[in-house]
Amino acid sequence: MTVLPVLETERLRIRPFVSDDVAHVHKLFQDIGWLDPRLTDDEQWARNGRYVAWNTLNHQALADLYQPPTGDRVIERRETGEFVGLCGVVGIWGPFGVLPALGGQADGFSWPEVGLFWAVSPAQQGSGYASEAARALIEALFARFNLQRILAVTETENHASRRVMEKVGMRIEVNPFPEPPWLQVVGIIYHPKGQP
């Protein structure tokens, strides 16, 4: 496996974390409601610092072990370096066999899949940045790692993420069962050469 390089699109740069990104992450998590209310402000800053540190080391460490390049990255504007949000490649493990396109069985097996993650600052939403970043990741993953498919998951109420999935060409699958709650809407995109 190799390290995923810095990706550039017409408007964006998708790059690995640096330690200075903690403040951006903290503000983003605050703005989108991802701070843990059980933690003090100092504890939350420490937690976000660990998240950034882990992602900073993660990409090279995984490459050294010949593992896939999972982890999150920063989305910034190419021209100005302004922080836009986060995106990444995640290993997701779940009962994907419940989805009609992947078996449709109530007792469907769990297995790992390669997934996408994105979170864009509310001030930057509505500009197409999430779909632009997701598209860049999809193209890089298919080109470099020859994956069969890539997934993205979200809750039923997250209409914005569902629109991103649709914009990047993902087929939308809806879990016919109430569990697990994080696996209610799934976007699936197949490698252009291997679509069933």
Q: Output 97-103 pairs: Cβ under 8 A, ≥24 positions apart.
A: 98/175, 98/176, 98/177, 98/183, 99/173, 99/175, 99/186, 99/188, 100/173, 100/176, 101/171, 101/173, 101/188, 102/173, 102/188
Q: Is a pLDDT exceeding 90 seen at residue 195?
A: no
DSSP, res 165: H
Give the pLDDT of residue 122.
Answer: 97
Comparing 99 with 162, the larger pLDDT belongs to 162
Q: Is a pLDDT exceeding 90 seen at residue 194?
A: no
Query: To the nearest whole percent, how much of the chain has pLDDT over 90?
Result: 71
Structure confidence by residue, pLDDT tens digits, 131-146: 999 999 999 999 998 8
Task: Report the chain's mean pLDDT, rounded to a whole number.
Answer: 92
CATH 3.40.630.30 fits 7-190, yes or no: yes
Structure confidence by residue, pLDDT tens digits, 25-34: 999 999 999 9
Structure confidence by residue, pLDDT tens digits, 44-102: 999 999 999 999 998 888 888 888 889 999 999 999 999 999 999 999 988 888 888 88
Cβ pair 48, 27 in contact under 8 A: no
- Domain extents for the chain? 7-190
